[in-house]
Amino acid sequence: MRCIENGTLRSPLPSPIMHPKSLLGLMTAIYNPSAETASPSAIHPLEPLSADEILQAVAILKSEKNLGDRVRFISITLNEPAKDTVLHYAPGTDYEREAFAVVLDNATGGAYEAIVSLTQESVTGWQPISGAQPPIALDEFLDCEAAVKASPEFQAALHRRGITDMSLVCVDPWSAGWYKDDPASDQGLRLSRALCWVRSAPGDNQYAHPVDGLIVMVDLNSMTVLRVEDHELRPVPAEPGNYTIEMIQSDALKAGVTEVFRTDLKPIEITQPEGPSFTVEGHQVRWQKWNFRIGFNPREGLVLYTIGYEDQGRVRPIIYRASLAEMTVPYGDAGITQCRKNAFDVGEYGVGALANPLKLGCDCLGEIRYFDAVMANTRGEIFEIENAICMHEEDFGILWKHTDWRTNQVEVRRSRRLVVSFIATVGNYEYGFFWYFYQDGSIQYEVKLTGIMVTAAVLGTEKPEYGTEIMPQLYAPNHQHVFCVRLDMAIDGQQNSVYEVDTEPAPLNDQNPYGNAFYAKQTLLKTEQEAQRLVDPFKARYWKIVNPSVHNRMGYPVGYKIAPGENGLPFAHPESSIMQRAGYMDKHLWVTPYDSKERFPAGDYPNQNAGGEGLPAWTQANESIENTDLVVWYTFNHNHIPRCEDWPVMPVAYTGFMLKPVNFFDLNPAHDVPPSAAKHKCH
């Protein structure tokens, strides 16, 4: 295990103007001087690209496409092979090892999708991206902030507000979105809509001091300020909202307070003296009858593949591929600075590239197995996020228990779950993405939301209509966090169907004379449009994915159900820009026949896209989804009406869903979990 104190983009690489063939050799030697390139047939088809493979792809692209020094590599990741290749792979099997790259030419504004065969050492696919922009890359954030702060017009706007120290100014580059009233001069440009805050001193929380009414439009290709929109001179809120140890202690000393932290918290020690119960080979994980592979890419972050559970001597497939496919944050404030805030944190920014390096004892506790994420920055140089993925076991209370009151015999088993997670910082917010595997065959997906809310200024004489005042003259706007998880299902094979299950009361009649009976009503969802569904807690609704050709010993088709958790619907108007661009938010369940090209519910490139793409477009054909290779898309919505208690750093909010076996097994699969050794006497 490796623990690091902070994450840095390491760029120990030579200038990209070198000849690509020489560059590849030198890059490889510097990054890993002893590395030897493995034969593709010896690498599992779903193994993430290595540093050597990324550098190889960069060199091939630069050489074949004669790429200039103003080209950015927005992402380079594994081009996943066809399912058949993966499912029939055995060590030594030949297959095409490929990289998928998104390339942006700042000089021309052109953007391209590329497929690079690492096996053939050639570019086998090159396609322009039209009608939208690729995601905004991390180093564009830094370049954009520098360009805005260097703008004389921006500096003049700050001077009008009494702000003169540019070292204290912080600029957040927001995605520009797409609106019908955008100026014609913006068409075709790669834009950011930058907003700003100002620290009162170095280390101060800038989000306590928004510079409201000031918007800067930036051309990210040329890194030039197109215009400064100075709408309103509002006072900058002055009260501090600090949260770091250093700043809290500093503020306390100024106020004459000597003790600021609780002193009655006793240690909790989590130890596994014999080590963890999981085993890892490369990116293959085995734990408590579970078997799956871990992947990671700049856009989705953590990806899980070929999830199966060992039962009666064989591993039974459940999910082929699972990932967070999109995440949209629509803001509900009509104010001029807030009304165009609608972020696609997967499609516009890439949560994988924004992952945190995790530290033992803070983000994760216990016996940890970390996985690093190896990616390329936009110059095509390697950067590595150490400890990007955390995997560990947790005690989770009672798994099952029964007391025979006649004999006083007690049988109890404690539950243990395997946690696979990563955490991303997207500007002001932190998101933790957690997959939990349980011993009873259940799977849980949970998102933990924390960090700092976006803020705005409010005049002392008014109360915000579309948010909550959290400090004098400072408010946080209402907003939502909408997540869509893509589940490429494989319940005991590729031929699956989906049922909607509602609990219905039986009518009062001769068969139900006391009116107490109720039953589960199952409705087969036969087509894509039939499968566009909403949660209904009043009917205890869930959706069941089954294999109609495989039955358990009692004759039921084997399946797993989606058990919804917290959820809601968007409040934006159907004709609003955000609903046109993120139409997937309008339904909680979507089901489509498998298509390798259908990966993202708002389309491949939501950045500056007019909308209508993704799930709303794909499902217009209304294809059959009965007894076929299908993909289930589940959307869940965390509605955030801010509270004073959410400031300055928001306590974690939890949202997500469960996947639970429904007649997948013949009986409780956790009945064979052994009792825990007694460590403490019970009183």
Q: Which residues are catalytic?
A: 345, 429
DSSP codes joined into one string, 588-619: SEEEEE--TT---TT-S--TT--S--SHHHHG
Rg of the chain's alpha carbons, rounded to an integer? 27
The CA distance from 576 to 332, in Å, is 11
DSSP string, 237-255: P-S----SHHHHHHHHHHT
Q: What dihedral do alpha carbons 451, 452, 454, 458 form, nearest 10°?
A: 160
Longest dimension (CA), the chain: 86
Residue that the structure tokens 């068969």 belong to: 511
Distances, alpha carbon 380 to alpha carbons 13, 76, 102, 578, in Å: 10, 9, 11, 33
β-bridge pairing 542-551 and 630-640? unpaired
**What Å distances lie between residue 472 and 197, 338, 469, 644, CA to CA?**
16, 19, 7, 11
Place of tokens 């909680």: 588
* Beta strand spans in 56-161 (E): 71-78, 98-105, 111-117, 122-128
Residue with tokens 């494989």: 490
Q: Are 391 and 368 in contact (CB under 8 A)?
A: yes
Q: Is the peptide bond prior to 235 cis by the omega test (within 30 degrees of 0)?
A: no
Q: How far apart are CA 168 and CA 202, in angstroms?
A: 7
Q: Which H or E run includes 62? A: helix 51-65
Closest CA to 544 of 677, 421, 660, 640: 660
Bridge partner list, 194: 173, 216
- Confirm if 425 and 356 have CB atoms less than 8 A apart: yes
Task: Output the six-digit token pair for 2.
Answer: 């490796």
Residue showing tokens 């349980």: 438
State the angle between helix axes of 51-65 and 20-31 in degrees (0 to 180), rounded to the nearest 10. 170
Task: Determine the 3-state secondary structure of 70 from DSSP.
Answer: coil
Evaluate the CA torsion angle 637, 432, 343, 371 in order and state its sign: negative
d(CA 463, CA 465): 6
Single-letter amino acid, residue 661: P
Rounded Cα gap, residues 434 and 421, in angstroms: 4
- Residue 549, classed as helix, strand or coil, is strand
Closest to 111 in 3D by CA, of 209, 5, 6, 220: 220
Could you tell me whether strands 542-551 and 474-477 are parallel, antiparallel, or unpaired per DSSP bridges?
A: unpaired
Asked if 192 contacts 223 with a C-beta cutoff of 8 angstroms, the reply is no
The structure tokens listed for 626 are 């009965």
Q: Would you say 227 and 215 are in contact if contact means Cβ atoms under 8 Å apart?
A: no
Residue with tokens 């030198």: 26
Count of alpha carbons within 13 angstroms of residue 645, beta-carbon side? 5
